[in-house]
Chains A and B, each alone.
Chain A
Amino acid sequence: MSHVHRPARLLEPGLCLTLRPMAYPVFFEMYRAAIKNTWTVEEVDFATDVADLRGRMSEAERHLVQRLVAFFATGDAIVANNVVLSLYRHINAPEARMYLSRQLYEEALHVQFYLTLLDTYVPDPEERHRAFAAIETIPSIRRKAEFCMRWLETVQGVDRLDSREDRRRFLLNLICFAACVEGLFFFGAFAYVYFLRSRGLLHGLAAGTNWVFRDESAHMRFAFEVVNTIRREEPSLFDASLEAEVQAMIAEAIDCETQFAEDLVGGGVAGLSVHDIRQYLEFCADQRLTTLGMARRYGVKNPLAFMELQDVQEVANFFERRVSAYQVGVTGQVVLDAAF
């Protein structure tokens, strides 16, 4: 096996190390764009969060936040695990592996962010430990974790994608983590944060989550770009049975997430009903299916008006919050006559 020659296909087993000529510049550009959006947990300002939790939120809303934090505490770590055990191993392009390395760092950063959040929100060490145990002890979270683990296991023991069946299994794993885990579980969780933020609550959580969301959006775009590449290279993989499996997988993910919603807002949170959340998930699911070139299944509109907020540009007043839009990595030289 050569490390020098470019494999004919992205999923051809091996360890390609050649970056010139570059076979997949789009992955390299994604890597570079990700670098420009570096942020750190230290920049997040939690100053008003604890006061909000104590003084401005109902018991039901506090429960919602606790559950959310418990989900976030382990969610990103599971995704990171899949990056290492599946994606990095099988996507045989050095520029894609560069992106995945960056993604891995970002997942760790997210874990660190939610750890800091947990330490800030939950003063009791015992309770902090319990948040990590949620993945086993709280049914609505356990069900989501089991879903992830099941799809993680489908590629366990597969060292090389030699057969068509191997590649098909990998493809389903990839789609599951992009469309279901990042595209539904995380999108669902972000919706709760944006709901709270639209009420002016928990600015620290919202600010950090905004950055996490930006990262996760990029991860999803990368994964779908990989899917598209595979489609170009081996279109026959995308047959009716694959679509049927994806549809079933998405339906199950929506069920898992709906159960989570029942747990989260079951105490009564004005402005968030399980019905609306499920419809929002169905709306998101249609988006994922469209991106995958598959038939839409639900045909519903987004019912959560506050999600419109996150689609439009932020104009932070610096008295209020730190602006989260700046770029890292600026190039060029001093000249005095460039156009501007």
Chain B
Amino acid sequence: MDRDTTTSEAALAGEPTRPDLSVSTRFQTSMRVKKRSGALEPVDIHKIVQAVDRCCAGLDAVDAVRVATRTISGLYDGATTQELDLLSIQTAAGLIAEEPQYSRLAARLLSTYVEAEVELSGVRSFSQSVAHGRALNLIHERLQAFVGAHAEELDAAIDRSRDLEFEYFGLRTVYDRYLLRHPQTRLVIETPQQFFMRIACALAESVAEARELYALLSALEYLPSSPTLFNSGTRHEQLASCFLLDSPRDQLSHIYQRYHDVAMLSKFSGGIGMAFHRVRSRGSLITVTNGISCGIVPWLKTLDASVAAVNQGGKRKGACCVYLESWHADIEAFLELRDNTGDEASRTHNLNLANWVPDLFMRRVEADAAWSLFDPKTVKDLPDLYGEAFEARYVEYEAAGLAVRTVPARDLYARMMRTLAQTGNGWMTFKDRCNTTCNQTGAPGRVVHLSNLCTEIVEVTAGDEVAVCNLGSINLGRHVNTCPDGQVAFDFEKLAQTVALAVRQLDRVIDLNYYSLPGARDSNVQWRPVGLGLMGLQDVFFQLGLSFDGGAARQLSRDISEAVYFHALTASCALARERGRHPTYEETRVARGELQFDAWGVTPSEPERWDRLRADIREHGLRNSLLVAIAPTATIAAIAGCYECIEPQVSNLFKRETLSGDFLQVNRYLVATLKRLGLWTEATRNQLKLAEGSVQQLEGLPEALKLVYRTAWELPMRSLVDMAAERGAYIDQSQSLNLFIESPSIGQLSSMYFYAWKRGLKTTYYLRSRPATRIAKATVDSTPTAEPIAPRAAVACSLENPESCEACQ
């Protein structure tokens, strides 16, 4: 690839202005760089310093000389100018853990680099970038027409200074994975700002709307989900994130039909949830051949391979979660699918697993009673029943002696907990709660059969219909105001505006979306569900100096969720007035006057505004059957530079592994606090590393701040469950709720998930735990006592054996 970029090229050409640098002359005498022309030129440290220095405006804590010298020390003789540029970016990024401002510097260096790369294709404006993309057959005709008609206005609306909003990780992610690339040269053909404008134009109906949406995206205040970011305005506008497929029927041909559906849906990105409740269990008679079935495991092994083969459009790995009801007779083998020992023929390393748990099972666990397992072939209607109807039929089947086996409910529950602890998988999702609170189950016969890949989508499926959802998330961290008097407060007005714009955009996606299966289109235009979510809740708490589970934070968290639900319904009602209600509106619970919090028995904080809204809805209906879903936001939170969804921070210092390499993150709020206290020193940094990112043992940090900067491992999980339940009254779909226990025991887990069920959570997501032994710290300067000798597991707190537990006493 023959290319050059501005930083080093300019560095080679520019005039040296800092003659007083005390830098080793080793580099200046021996190192040469290869220019684009192929000519070799000696490296001049001064010129490199200058180039870096140009990106340092307003960053008072970064040192351009340091970046330049470290860059050169990693260089080899004859390196290309491109390598030099990339190295300077990586060098700056390598200093982030020491000083978070280097993240901004690295982002600016990268921004310069990307702009230069785009210019290599002759692209100098937004409209040129779209035209070039169209010529390369990447861009949708509709977008090209829109942009062509309004080129001047749209080009003028691009604000390059918005690149300054990015942290390094965010911009790196955008550059590596989201910007459109030339099919052959793989050069990017749009800048980050042109990328945002492309999405805005693709999802808007007028220039004014496009500008509004662009302003929102480029300020990183709201971001649509990755499929929308990947594909908006392209020739295959598959913009939805989630697809839910009911179980294949108990027939060979239908199983493979479903696998074909999964592959087609994965191809254009999007995660899959698929139920398997209806497929017969091991030992069941196959009438046609008079053979005996091997159960669901061999089928899932096939699905596993298929999922691995189809990586989402070559952009990210395919992903699928299989749901199984807890009465299925293959449940134990199902729970072992992710084990890393045992027969490989019964292991599926690529599939995610979730339990679809009926209330009756949890009650039998509570009563320490027996639980019957059935072959779906003999209890065909169980997947389509919930609540009392399910319970009556289940008991009837038990009485009829149809059970394949009966086990103590607690034995099976313990196996579920073990799977969670050992693999993080086998998510607990609650069938009855999902059904009884779902807006789509207002009419008889409508049933939710599963949740999705990330357990935040709860939608009905019927036959070959595929439930679909497209998502977007509001960056709460960018909705905080500092008043002139220095008071920091959450900005509910701005939130209202963002929600209104976001719902409009999400609704538009339903009509634009490219559906690779007819069944997906049918269901989506009937129900028009969307999933508006949140991210950066932890950022809000840090900015306001709130402890994550303190009273003020809990109140704010509840208020935010109520506001999001309120304004989302308001926006959907306005859309219904404008464009009509969704076709199945009359079937919904909302049509009967029931909103989500009614199902939770919760009264909202401002009943008057809700009364007015109810009246509006009665008159106009809703455009969307479902509106709110809190997705995990892993990648888009990285782009926005905020903490993921509603999650507490995992560590004050951690690295993020992505396809673009490893990124180091340090809690910049903590760094600011420590700087204020004069504590941000190398000793502190080493202590943070040794303590796995915890500040609890940090000397000099006041106790109140230690509370604020707790990590997910240090928060009581009961609080997380409580906060999820309080929020849940305003979430008409669900939330991807991760739970964290460093070294879990069955007793802790069984209590925790039981509590989650009792509190009425619809779904839970990963159980996160930490490895039993650790990697030696390679870069921490150890003293003889600092290197941990005894493995951590040996001192782990054991609440079941308090007399033997020294850690708590």
Which of A's residues lie within 8 Å of B, judged by CB?
Answer: 26, 29-30, 32-34, 36-40, 42-43, 45, 47-48, 187, 190-191, 197-201, 203, 210, 213-214, 217-218, 220-221, 224-225, 228, 265, 268-273, 275-276, 283-284, 286-287, 290-291, 293, 301-340
Do residues A275 and B73 form an inter-chain contact, with CB atoms below 8 A? yes
Contacts of A190 in B (CB 8 A): 778
Q: Measured between alpha carbons, how far is A316 from B718 in the docked complex, in Å?
A: 24
Contacts of A218 in B (CB 8 A): 773, 791
Do residues A200 and B774 form an inter-chain contact, with CB atoms below 8 A? no
Answer yes or no: B588 CB below 8 A from chain A CBs: no
Do residues A290 and B783 form an inter-chain contact, with CB atoms below 8 A? yes
- A336 CB to closest chain B CB, in angstroms? 5
Chain B 88-122 residues near chain A, CB threshold 8 A: 90-91, 94-95, 97
Contacts of B635 in A (CB 8 A): 317, 319
Partner of A221, one of B746, B772, B789: B789
Do residues A270 and B76 form an inter-chain contact, with CB atoms below 8 A? yes
Answer yes or no: B714 CB below 8 A from chain A CBs: no
Do residues B782 and A317 form an inter-chain contact, with CB atoms below 8 A? no
Of the stretches B141-149, B489-497, B656-664, the one at the interface is B656-664
Do residues A320 and B657 form an inter-chain contact, with CB atoms below 8 A? yes
**Beyond A271-B90, A311-B778, A312-B689: 9 further Cβ-contacts under 8 Å?**
A32-B793, A33-B793, A42-B347, A187-B778, A191-B778, A270-B74, A291-B782, A305-B70, A328-B422
- A113 CB to closest chain B CB, in angstroms? 13
Q: Measured between alpha carbons, how far is A45 from B311 in the docked complex, in Å?
A: 13
Do residues A273 and B366 form an inter-chain contact, with CB atoms below 8 A? no
Answer yes or no: B500 CB below 8 A from chain A CBs: no
Do residues B772 and A334 form an inter-chain contact, with CB atoms below 8 A? no
Q: Measured between alpha carbons, how far is A272 from B76 in the docked complex, in Å?
A: 8
Known contacts A308-B779, A334-B747, A339-B748; A314/B657 CB under 8 A:
yes
Contacts of A334 in B (CB 8 A): 365, 410, 413-414, 417, 746-747, 750
Q: Measured between alpha carbons, how far is A307 from B781 in the docked complex, in Å?
A: 13
- B639 CB to closest chain A CB, in angstroms? 12
Chain B interface category by residue count: 35 or more
- A51 CB to closest chain B CB, in angstroms? 10
Query: In the complex, what residue of chain A is closest to B754 when comparing beta carbons?
Result: A336
Contacts of A332 in B (CB 8 A): 745-748, 800
Query: In the complex, what residue of chain A is closest to B659 when comparing beta carbons?
Result: A320
Do residues A327 and B769 form an inter-chain contact, with CB atoms below 8 A? yes
Do residues A33 and B794 form an inter-chain contact, with CB atoms below 8 A? yes
Do residues A220 and B776 form an inter-chain contact, with CB atoms below 8 A? yes
Known contacts A290-B784, A331-B746; A310/B654 CB under 8 A:
no
Query: In the complex, what residue of chain B is closest to A34 when comparing beta carbons?
Result: B773
Partner of A214, one of B341, B769, B774: B774
Do residues B421 and A330 form an inter-chain contact, with CB atoms below 8 A? yes
Answer yes or no: B716 CB below 8 A from chain A CBs: yes
Do residues B791 and A33 form an inter-chain contact, with CB atoms below 8 A? yes
Max chain B CB contacts within 10 Å: which of A221, A331, A336?
Answer: A336
- B264 CB to closest chain A CB, in angstroms? 19
- B32 CB to closest chain A CB, in angstroms? 11
Known contacts A37-B773, A308-B97, A337-B751; A320/B746 CB under 8 A:
no
Contacts of B781 in A (CB 8 A): 286-287, 301
Max chain A CB contacts within 10 Å: which of B651, B766, B794?
Answer: B794
Chain B 398-417 residues near chain A, CB threshold 8 A: 410, 413-414, 417
Query: In the complex, what residue of chain B is closest to A44 when comparing beta carbons?
Result: B349
Binary contact readout B627-659 vs A (1 if CB under 8 angstroms, 0 otherwise): 000000011000000000000001101111111
Contacts of A328 in B (CB 8 A): 340-341, 422, 772
15 A–B contact pairs at CB < 8 A? A33-B793, A36-B772, A199-B661, A214-B771, A291-B784, A304-B779, A305-B94, A305-B95, A313-B650, A315-B657, A321-B657, A328-B341, A334-B747, A336-B754, A339-B799
- B640 CB to closest chain A CB, in angstroms? 14
Max chain A CB contacts within 10 Å: which of B662, B689, B746, B774?
Answer: B662
Q: Measured between alpha carbons, how far is A47 from B692 in the docked complex, in Å?
A: 30
Contacts of B410 in A (CB 8 A): 334
Do residues A217 and B776 form an inter-chain contact, with CB atoms below 8 A? yes
Chain B 371-386 residues near chain A, CB threshold 8 A: none
Chain B 757-784 residues near chain A, CB threshold 8 A: 766, 768-784
Q: Measured between alpha carbons, how far is A336 from B364 in the docked complex, in Å?
A: 12
Contacts of A269 in B (CB 8 A): 76
Q: Measured between alpha carbons, how far is A197 from B662 in the docked complex, in Å?
A: 7
Query: In the complex, what residue of chain B is closest to A286 when comparing beta carbons?
Result: B781
Contacts of B707 in A (CB 8 A): none
- B416 CB to closest chain A CB, in angstroms? 10
Q: Measured between alpha carbons, how far is A265 from B741 in the docked complex, in Å?
A: 42
Q: Measured between alpha carbons, how far is A15 from B662 in the docked complex, in Å?
A: 47
Partner of A43, one of B349, B716, B773: B349
Do residues B661 and A198 form an inter-chain contact, with CB atoms below 8 A? yes
Q: Measured between alpha carbons, how far is A339 from B311 in the docked complex, in Å?
A: 41
Binary contact readout B299-327 vs A (1 if CB under 8 angstroms, 0 otherwise): 00000000010010000110100000000
Contacts of A338 in B (CB 8 A): 745, 747-748, 750-751, 799-800
Contacts of A187 in B (CB 8 A): 778
- B367 CB to closest chain A CB, in angstroms? 11
Query: In the complex, what residue of chain A is closest to B308 when comparing beta carbons?
Result: A47
Query: In the complex, what residue of chain A is closest to B661 when comparing beta carbons?
Result: A200
Answer yes or no: B594 CB below 8 A from chain A CBs: no
* The 7 nearest A-B residue pairs measured at CB: A305-B94, A200-B661, A36-B772, A332-B746, A33-B791, A268-B76, A217-B776
Q: Measured between alpha carbons, how far is A329 from B316 in the docked complex, in Å?
A: 32
Do residues B773 and A33 form an inter-chain contact, with CB atoms below 8 A? yes
Answer yes or no: B83 CB below 8 A from chain A CBs: yes
Q: Measured between alpha carbons, how far is A306 from B777 in the docked complex, in Å?
A: 13
- A175 CB to closest chain B CB, in angstroms? 15
Contacts of B347 in A (CB 8 A): 42
Answer yes or no: B717 CB below 8 A from chain A CBs: yes
Q: Measured between alpha carbons, how far is A320 from B470 in the docked complex, in Å?
A: 20
Answer yes or no: B219 CB below 8 A from chain A CBs: no
- A265 CB to closest chain B CB, in angstroms? 8
Do residues B94 and A40 form an inter-chain contact, with CB atoms below 8 A? no
- B207 CB to closest chain A CB, in angstroms? 34
Max chain B CB contacts within 10 Å: which of A32, A273, A311?
Answer: A311
Q: Measured between alpha carbons, how far is A296 from B138 in the docked complex, in Å?
A: 60
Query: In the complex, what residue of chain A is closest to B413 when comparing beta carbons?
Result: A334
Answer yes or no: B743 CB below 8 A from chain A CBs: yes
Do residues B799 and A313 form an inter-chain contact, with CB atoms below 8 A? no
Q: Measured between alpha carbons, how far is A210 from B352 in the docked complex, in Å?
A: 23
Chain B 533-588 residues near chain A, CB threshold 8 A: none
Do residues B340 and A43 form an inter-chain contact, with CB atoms below 8 A? yes
Do residues B664 and A308 form an inter-chain contact, with CB atoms below 8 A? yes
Known contacts A47-B308, A314-B657, A326-B424; A320/B779 CB under 8 A:
no
Answer yes or no: B151 CB below 8 A from chain A CBs: no
Contacts of A329 in B (CB 8 A): 422, 772
Do residues A273 and B424 form an inter-chain contact, with CB atoms below 8 A? no
Answer yes or no: B176 CB below 8 A from chain A CBs: yes
Contacts of B79 in A (CB 8 A): 268, 270
Known contacts A270-B87, A290-B783, A335-B751; A318/B340 CB under 8 A:
no
Known contacts A37-B773, A319-B635, A330-B745; A30/B780 CB under 8 A:
no
Do residues A40 and B424 form an inter-chain contact, with CB atoms below 8 A? no
